[in-house]
């Protein structure tokens, strides 16, 4: 039982490049979400999903896309990276009120 | 909209001392959950303790306890007999206890706690 697995752990992108942050969970949780963590601001919700085929926007969705084709996977796509997207990204899944977090991805856009 | 405020950006104490981290929140909800998460340098988010708003009794987990004041909308975390391994960022978080909340967590900005040997 691996819990929530995020890849990669670190990434450097050039402005305008695209990439996908991967997130997978093996706990059969319906609810999954993506947060970004910036200094002095705590975590902010980007997108979330309440089940396969269902996604919705959170507080800061601009510049990010998600899809949920399976219960296990919830990838986050940056279509055209911008320096403002430099942050630490967390994927989480949830069972009831208990959240399980991945290890985070530190993304730097130069 | 709900907000969570942590007014102490950074704190430091000596090992074995007791430290209290403050958290206040704003909500019109009557039923909700409050959490304290720990984030050590490894970046892993670790649940320390949680409190259900309908419970008057303060939650306790070993050396960690909370002082939940519902009327004052205050939710402080007390760490007793602090240890070097307690050095971390601590986040306070809020979640509405309603199905239409989609279990979204609202986070404070965090408090960096340093335990000195």
Give the closest residue to B78 by CA, choosing from B52, B55, B49, B114.
B49
> Can you tell me the mean pLDDT for A53-71?
95
| Residues in chain B, total | 117
Half-sphere exposure for A40 (CA within 13 Å, toward CB): 0
* B113 neighbors B87 (Cβ within 8 angstroms): yes
Q: Which region holds residue A84: left if phi is over 0, alpha if psi is between -120 and 50, else beta?
A: alpha
Q: For an interface test with B, give the residue of A3, A4, A42, A87 to mutate (most B CBs within 10 A).
A: A42
* Residue A41 pLDDT grade (very low, low, confident, very high; cuts 50, 70, 90): confident
CB contact under 8 A, B102 and A101: no
Using CB atoms, pick whichever of A42, A56, A104 lies closest to residue B109. A42
The alpha carbon of residue A105 is apart from the nearest alpha carbon of chain B, in Å, by 9
pLDDT surpasses 90 at A2: no
pLDDT per residue rounded down to tens, chain B (117 residues) = 789 999 999 999 999 999 999 999 999 998 999 999 999 999 999 999 999 999 989 999 999 999 999 999 999 999 999 999 999 999 999 998 876 656 789 999 999 999 999
Distance, in Å, from the CA atom of A34 to the CA atom of A79, rounded to the nearest integer, reads: 16
Give the closest residue to B7 by CA, choosing from B19, B25, B28.
B25
pLDDT surpasses 90 at A15: yes
């Amino acid at each position: 039982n691996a819990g929530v697995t995020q890849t990669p752990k670190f990434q450097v992108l050039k402005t305008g490049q695209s990439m996908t942050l991967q997130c997978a969970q093996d706990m059969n949780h319906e609810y999954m979400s993506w947060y970004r963590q910036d200094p002095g601001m705590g975590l902010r919700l980007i997108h979330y999903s309440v089940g396969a085929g269902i996604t919705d926007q959170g507080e800061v969705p601009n510049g990010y896309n998600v899809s949920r084709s399976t219960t296990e996977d919830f990838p986050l796509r940056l279509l055209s990276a911008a320096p403002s997207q430099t942050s630490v990204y967390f994927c989480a899944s949830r069972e009831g009120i208990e959240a399980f977090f991945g290890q985070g991805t530190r993304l730097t856009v130069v | 909209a709900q907000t969570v405020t942590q007014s102490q950006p950074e704190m430091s104490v000596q090992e074995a001392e007791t430290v209290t981290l403050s958290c206040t929140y704003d909500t019109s909800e009557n039923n909700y959950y409050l959490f304290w998460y720990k984030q050590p340098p490894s970046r892993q988010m670790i649940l320390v303790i949680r409190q259900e708003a309908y419970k008057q009794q303060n939650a306790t987990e070993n050396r960690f306890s909370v002082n939940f004041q519902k009327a004052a909308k205050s939710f402080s975390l007390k760490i007793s007999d602090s240890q070097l391994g307690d050095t971390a960022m601590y986040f306070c978080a809020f979640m509405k206890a309603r199905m239409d909340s989609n279990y979204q967590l609202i986070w404070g900005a965090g408090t960096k706690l340093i335990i000195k040997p």
